[in-house]
Structure 1
Amino acid sequence: MSKMIAPVRWLLALSILMLGWTAGALAQTSQPVCAQEAREQAQRLLDFHVGGDDRIFIEPDVVEKAPLRNPANPKQQFQVLEVRGMILKGQYRMRLIYYRLEDSCVLMGQEILEHASL
């Protein structure tokens, strides 16, 4: 009977390990709320900044940064999402600031910064 228990324990341990890997992979691929809106807005912002060009590339990853307090109401916070993009050799960091209103993402501000060594 102990010979039967050993494979069961091995399968149980393997299952638990695989669940841990799956959970880790899902955590890495999950995107913050408003990520899709942030990518679309980053595309528009970079297009506006460089004067329109069809060679703009927006990276798919959206990183949530520390929230900002609403200067008009300190009890409220804004979500800050960082998106990176490029055009030719120019690299840009864009931060898009959203307020979550129920199921909506309300754009409250945006910044763009070109990475350059001057």
Structure 2
Amino acid sequence: MKKPIAIITLLLLTISFSSLAKEQESALTCKTQALSEAKKLLAFYSEDDDRANIDSDVTPLAKIQNPENKSQYFDVLQVWGYIYKGKYRMRFIYFNDCTLMGEEILEYANL
């Protein structure tokens, strides 16, 4: 009776490790678009505050799966921006041909 339990445990571990191995880093092919969109998003968010600026560094994050088509993956690029003393993380989700599929902005604050 212990052999089937051991086999099931081994299978579950194999499945969980293989899903971790599938995680791929996003490509930087849409870097210029991400920087351009970051400027627009931060300007919109800050109501065109002249103290708003962004880093030129673009960080590729893990690709995410398209919820509508499981065979497609989106690239996720992260850009940091600043308004006076505020720090903002912006993430942009792109399809293969640099079509913007989504964006988010989050203020980093210690309240």
TM range (shorter): 0.7 to 0.9
SS at match of 2:61: strand
Deviation at 1:49, TM superposition (A): 1.1
Partners in 2 of 1:39 and 1:54 — Cα distance? 17
Report the counterpart of residue 47 of structure 1 in structure 2. Answer: 43
Partners in 1 of 2:84 and 2:35 — Cα distance? 19
Partners in 2 of 1:34 and 1:54 — Cα distance? 26
Partners in 1 of 2:65 and 2:86 — Cα distance? 31
Matched letter for residue 89 of structure 1: K
Matched letter for residue 108 of structure 2: H
Partners in 2 of 1:55 and 1:40 — Cα distance? 17
1:23-102 alignment runs, 5 A limit: 32-101=28-97
Partners in 2 of 1:51 and 1:74 — Cα distance? 38
Could you list the runs of 5+ residues in structure 2 that have no partner in the other structure? 1-26
- Structure with the bigger RCO (C-alpha within 8 Å, sep 6+) is 2
Greater helix percent: which structure?
1
Over the residues paired in the alignment, what is the CA RMSD in angstroms?
A: 1.2
How many residue pairs get matched? 85
SS at match of 1:117: coil
Report the counterpart of residue 4 of structure 2 in structure 1. Answer: none
Partners in 2 of 1:38 and 1:111 — Cα distance? 12
Q: Deviations over 1:49-97 (max 9, x none)?
A: 1111122111010000001111111100000000001010011000000
Partners in 2 of 1:65 and 1:111 — Cα distance? 14
Structure of larger gyration radius: 1
Q: Give me the TM-score of the superposition, normalised by structure 1.
A: 0.69
Partners in 2 of 1:47 and 1:69 — Cα distance? 29
Matched letter for residue 114 of structure 1: E
Identity within the alignment, % = 48
